[in-house]
Amino acid sequence: MEMYEGETLSITITGHSLGAALALLVANEITTRVPEVPSVAVFSFGGPKVGNKAFGDKITAQGVKVLRIVNSQDVITRVPGMFVSEELEQTIRNSKIGGVLDMFDDNTPLAYSHVGAELRVDTKMSPFLKPDADMACCHDLEAYLHLVDGFLASNCPFRANAKRSLARLMQDQSANVKKLYISKAKALSLNLERQGSFSMSLERQGSFSMSGCLPSPS
C-alpha cells in the first residue's frame, strides 16, 4: 500500500487445501488490522471449513469477497462439520426440517460452516479423468485447475476448447487418467519431441522456436 500509494488497489489472496484455509485467515487479519485497507478477495481451491457461522458473517461484513472452488468428489471440502456431504446438508436446509439446522447453528457456536460463494466442479465431467479417480486426484491442485479450465456451467459438458496443458496432470495423476487418452498423450509427446528436435535445428539458424508443452487434445 505504501509502494503504490495514490493508486486504486485491490488485494487478492489464493490458496489450496491448507493454503485455502490460511488465505481466509490472512484476509480476516488484513481487513481487521490494516486501516483503510483496499478491497480484498479470496480464491480458495479445495479448502476445508475454517470457522463457525459468526466467523463467516464477520468476513462478509468486512467486505471480503470469497470464491470457493470445490470438487464434488473432494472430501476435504466437507470437513469439519456435522454432515459429511454438503449436498445432504443443503437438501435438509431446503426441506421442512431445515429450521433444525438453523437452530443448531444458532445454539452451537462451534459448528463449522463455509464462507462466500461456491464454484462447484466435478471430476466426472472431465473427458480425460477416470470417473472413479482416487481421493488424492480429486484433491490435487492441478486437477482442480484442469476442471476449472473446462468449466462452462453446472451440469454442462466439459468445455471443448479448453486450452490448459495436461502435461502436469499426466505426470502427477497418470493412474487416474483414462487409458485412451494416455496412448494419445504418448503419441502427442513423441510428435512434440520430434518437432522439438526439428525446431532446435531451425532455432540455431535463427528461424523460430516452439514450446515443448503437451497441449490439450482440443
Give start and end residues of each alpha helix (H) in the chain: 18-33, 53-61, 86-93, 98-107, 135-139, 141-149, 167-172, 179-204
| Residue of higher predicted confidence among 139 and 218 | 139
Domain-embedded: residue 161: yes
Per-residue pLDDT, 173: 87
Q: Which of 16, 44, 74, 126 is catalytic?
A: 74
- By CB atoms closer than 10 A (0-12, 13-18, 19+), residue 147 is buried
Q: What are phi and psi of 129, to 5 degrees?
A: -95, 145
Active site residue 139: yes
DSSP one-letter code for 119: E
Range name among 36-45, 64-73, 74-83, 185-194 with the lowest pLDDT average? 185-194
Active site residue 105: no
Q: Which residue type is seen at 113?
A: S
Considering 40-44, 176-180, 203-207, the range whose residues carry the highest mean pLDDT is 40-44
Q: Which of 16, 114, 139, 146 is catalytic?
A: 139
Domain-embedded: residue 153: yes
The model's confidence at residue 211, banded by pLDDT at 50, 70 and 90, is: very low
For residues 100-113, average pLDDT? 66
Please check whether residue 127 is in contact with residue 156, taking contact to mean a CB–CB distance below 8 angstroms. no
Active site residue 146: no
Domain-embedded: residue 46: yes
> Domain range holding 169?
122-192
Question: Does position 121 have pLDDT exceeding 70, yes or no?
Answer: yes
pLDDT over 70 percentage in the chain: 72
Number of folded domains that form the chain: 2
